[in-house]
Amino acid sequence: MTKPREKTREEVTAEIEDGKKKIRQLENREKVLRQKLSQEERRTRSHRLIVRGAVFESIVPEAKTMTDEEATAFLRLALTSEPAQEFLKKRAGNGNAE
C-alpha cells in the first residue's frame, strides 16, 4: 500500500482558515437564533400582558380611568384578600405555579 501524502504547510493553513470561517459562521448563526428566541419570548410576554390587562379592564371597568398607582393599589388590596390568598395557595399546591 502506498502511504498517504502529507499535506503541505499551505494546505494545512488553508484548512485551519476554513475551519475558523466555519466557526465564525456557526457563531453568527447562533447569535441570530438567540435573537429570534428573545424576540419570540418578548412577543409572547407582551401578548400575555395585553390579554391580562384586557381581562382586568373587562372585570373592573373603572380600571380604564385609574392611574397606574391606583390600579396597583387596587390589585394589591384585591390579591391580599383571604379568598385570593386561598386560591393562590391551592393553585401552588396543585403544581400549577410557573
Q: What is the pLDDT of residues 34-78, one digit of tens each?
A: 999 999 999 999 999 999 999 999 999 999 999 999 999 999 999
For residue 4, name the pLDDT band (cuts at 50, 70, 90).
confident
Predicted local confidence at residue 3, as pLDDT = 74
Q: Is the dihedral of CA 36, 41, 44, 47 positive or negative?
A: negative
Structural domain boundaries in the chain: 9-59, 65-98
What integer is the mean pLDDT of 8-32? Answer: 97
Q: Is the dihedral of CA 50, 55, 56, 60 positive or negative?
A: positive
**Beta carbons of 60 and 74 less than 8 angstroms apart:** yes
**Beta carbons of 55 and 66 less than 8 angstroms apart:** no
Full-model pTM: 0.66
C-alpha cell at 31: 447569535
